[in-house]
Amino acid sequence: MTQATEKKDVQKLQRTIVDALEDVKAQDLVVFDTEHLSSLFERVIIASGSSNRQTKALAASVRDKVRNAGFGKPRIEGEDNGEWIIVDCGPVVAHIMQPNIRQYYHLEEIWGEKPVRLKFGAPKPAAPKPKAVEKKPAAKKAAAKKAPAKSSGTKSAAKPAAKSTTKPAAKKTASSSKPVAKKAAPKKPKA
């Protein structure tokens, strides 16, 4: 096997593992190139899961996707406990940890000299850019629509108030017109 073919295989394996972790919503996913640090593996992937159940699901997802992609069956350690699970896929090793364990051991200090830049969910970043452009004109339209709505809202609020004051006056005038007129006149200056 040539060196270029081996690198492509490592990249394919790395992408498979990252996709498997993303499918189960791994948190704080990072990949480090460790080729210069160790001859045992070329990449270290570190990800967090919020509970024992999620870390176990992340490890199972990695195991299944790696096998389905045609790579060998990975070795898994720590699945019983679920706090820190190591999935050894040969040239790529994945550490799936709960946040408190990850913070305590801080593996990024050991392996983090050369982070690998990844495009997480490659099709996903292309979609938000057009949406961001669409939101700006929509915001302007919404602002333009809100201004007339406010003015119409105050008109509609004024109309019911005028109707409510005229209806009681009409009822009082029907029963006795002279006393109501005298009472109505002093109420208007007070208001």
> Are 22 and 121 contacting, i.e. CB atoms less than 8 angstroms apart?
yes
What percent of the chain shows pLDDT beyond 70? Answer: 60
Superfamily of domain 6-126: Beta Polymerase, domain 2 (3.30.460.10)
Domain coordinates in residue numbering, the chain:
6-126, 135-186
Angle in degrees, 0-180, between the axes of helices 3-23 and 52-68, rounded to the nearest 10: 140
Strands 75-77 and 43-48, sheet pairing: unpaired
Residue 25 pLDDT class (50, 70, 90 cuts): very high
Query: E-assigned strands of the chain?
Result: 27-33, 43-48, 75-77, 84-88, 92-97
pTM: 0.59
- Average pLDDT over the chain, rounded to an integer: 74
| 13-17, 52-56, 72-76, 160-164: least confidently modelled range | 160-164
